[in-house]
Each structure stands twice: as structure tokens, then as C-alpha cells.
Structure 1
Amino acid sequence: MTDDDIYSGLQQLGQPTRVPTDPSEAVLERVQNPEAGQRYVVRFTAPEFTSLCPMTGQPDFAHLVIDYVPRDWLVESKSLKLFLFSFRNHGAFHEACTVSIGRRLVDLLDPEWLRIGGYWYPRGGMPIDVFWASGPAPAGIWLPDQGVPGYRGRG
């Protein structure tokens, strides 16, 4: 399998792409896993994720960490960035944002396993952390801690 074969069907990589204004119109793309058959973990970290509170319209900020064990497919990173960026003007609660991102990736990739940690900055004085996984972590893989400390404020 050559790089040309892997990337031949992509529509966003390597060219100017309009930023989607809503997650439902964002196009997530995938590429064949060149290491299919090997078990390994892929991690994406989005430390500046933003969305809107659906009630007040005020911005919400989170640090997202996505880990997955691929089978046949990898998410194409530019499409993932644009997908995450599409939440910028989208009103949804923390839980809905975090879980919907995880579910959309599972639907696209059919990974062996996926988890997402949404470490949300305080709203109304209280941080909210949301965690979702497609199932139990597979045995026999190295799965590092997501490395995001609990919110401590100024303490």
C-alpha cells in the first residue's frame, strides 16, 4: 500500500477548506491504517476546544484528549481539526459535546476501542469533566494516563 493509495480519496487535505459552522455539516475523513494488524494507541489532544453554552450563548472551553486503538482506519487529522473547530459556534452541554465527538469517531473508524476525556474549564464556578469510552480498554496495550490534572483554580 502506497501513500498515494491511502490519501487518494481525501477531499480536504492539501487544499484550502472552508471551516464548517456546525458539527452536523463537518466532514470527517479516514485513511487506511498502514499498520493494520499491529495493536497501538493513537492520541489526539485539543487543548483549546471551544463550544457555546446552549442556554446563555457564552463560550465554554475544554481540553480534549482522544485515544483509540485502530483497526483498518485512521482519522485524517485535518478533518478532525475542522470537525472540532465546528463546535466553536455550536450550542451544546459539555456532556453532549464530549460524547457526540466520541460516538462520531467510533461510527467513522470502527476502532477496536476509543475513549475521550473532556476536561472542561469552570462554568458557574464548577469544572465539569466528561469521560466516554466505546467499551473496556483492551488488554495488552500501553495506555498512558491522559495527563490532564483535575482543576485546582488558584490553589
Structure 2
Amino acid sequence: MNEENIYADLKQLGGATVLPDHPDKAELERVKNPQADAPYMIRFTAPEFTSLCPMTAQPDFAHLVIDYVPDQWLVESKSLKLFLGAFRNHGAFHEDCTVSIGRRLQEFLEPKWIRIGGYWYPRGGIPIDVFYQSGPAPEGVWIPDQGVPGYRGRG
């Protein structure tokens, strides 16, 4: 491993932070990938993701699974947690939330590949699952199933 301090520019980790009140105000942070020469996948699971219905302001709940194959950058997990938490008071449909998260991470990290599965709990008796992927999965990387079953009381 390189002796360079790849964590020196992080501002949120290890300090007091406030949950942003809107996803656009959330500051994602990244660190240089010290294993950029190795083909591997990273998974973040957020089983308690919440946002608001833009029409009724009622809470919506989802189980998110974010998979990505990094290139030069890794997302710092506390900044990701704060970004996802910023949706708590944000009104948007399931599709918009899921795709917005995937696109923002793709633009910010410039990974070799990224996908997000948004497994939304029922509203009005209908669960909605939303999937975003940047393209075909790269060869030579183990990409496991996201492991979230079709709706039957999720969890």
C-alpha cells in the first residue's frame, strides 16, 4: 500500500456533522483507490432508506443496494450516509430518487461500473422496484445477486 495519506482531504469523517436538508446540499467525499489495479466490487446496503412522496408528503421506505466497480476513486461511507439521509425530507417519486442517486454517484466517482437497486415498500398496496445501471458489468469481477427477494414482506 502506498504511504501517501489518501484520507487527508476528508472533512466529515471523525467530526460532528449535520444531516443536509436536501440531497443537492449533501457533500459527497471520495478517496483515491489504493487498489485501483485490482478488479473488485463494492456494495453498500441501505435497508432503511426514506424519502417523502412529493404529492402527499407521506414517508416512503426502501431497501437500497448500491454496487460499483471502482476505478480511481472510492466514496467515503459517512458522506454517502449523509447524502442518502438527505432524502429523508425530500419529496420525489421512487424512480427519481433511485436514478438520481445512481447518476450522482456515477458522475462523482467515475467508476468502471455502477448499479443501484431500489426496492421500495408498498404504498397503496403496490411495491415498486427501480433499477439503474451504467452499462454491462465488467468481465472478471464477481458481481453477486443483490439478494433482495421479490416483495413478500421484504426483510
Match of 1:91?
91
2:21 paired with 1:21 = yes
Q: Output the aligned Cα RMSD.
A: 1.1
Unaligned runs of 5+ in 1: none
- Structure 1 CA distance for aligned equivalents of residues 152 and 106 of structure 2: 32
Match of 2:145?
145
Q: Following TM superposition, by how much is the alpha carbon of 1:153 offset from its aligned partner in structure 2, in angstroms?
A: 4.1
| Counterpart mapping for 1:85-124 below 5 A | 85-124=85-124
- Structure 2 CA distance for aligned equivalents of residues 83 and 14 of structure 1: 16
Match of 1:66?
66
- Structure 1 CA distance for aligned equivalents of residues 49 and 90 of structure 2: 12
Q: Following TM superposition, by how much is the alpha carbon of 1:59 offset from its aligned partner in structure 2, in angstroms?
A: 0.2
The number of equivalent residue pairs is 153
TM-score, normalised by the number of residues in structure 1: 0.96
- Structure 1 CA distance for aligned equivalents of residues 153 and 146 of structure 2: 19
Q: Following TM superposition, by how much is the alpha carbon of 1:138 offset from its aligned partner in structure 2, in angstroms?
A: 1.1
Secondary structure of the corresponding residue to residue 131 of structure 1: strand
Match of 1:129?
129
Moved more, 144-153 or 53-62: 144-153
**Paired amino acid for 2:9:** G
Match of 1:55?
55
- Structure 2 CA distance for aligned equivalents of residues 142 and 18 of structure 1: 36
Question: Runs of 4 or more off by more than 4 Å in structure 1?
Answer: none
Q: Following TM superposition, by how much is the alpha carbon of 1:134 offset from its aligned partner in structure 2, in angstroms?
A: 0.7
Secondary structure of the corresponding residue to residue 63 of structure 2: strand
Match of 1:44?
44
TM-score, normalised by the number of residues in structure 2: 0.96
Q: Following TM superposition, by how much is the alpha carbon of 1:74 offset from its aligned partner in structure 2, in angstroms?
A: 0.2
Q: Following TM superposition, by how much is the alpha carbon of 1:45 offset from its aligned partner in structure 2, in angstroms?
A: 0.1
Q: Deviations for 1:41-66, whole angstroms, at most 9, x for unmatched residues?
A: 00000000000000000000000000
- Structure 1 CA distance for aligned equivalents of residues 35 and 8 of structure 2: 18
- Structure 2 CA distance for aligned equivalents of residues 51 and 153 of structure 1: 19
Match of 2:7?
7
**Paired amino acid for 1:46:** A
- Structure 1 CA distance for aligned equivalents of residues 73 and 138 of structure 2: 17
Q: Following TM superposition, by how much is the alpha carbon of 1:9 offset from its aligned partner in structure 2, in angstroms?
A: 0.5
**Paired amino acid for 1:105:** L
Match of 1:77?
77
Unaligned runs of 5+ in 2: none
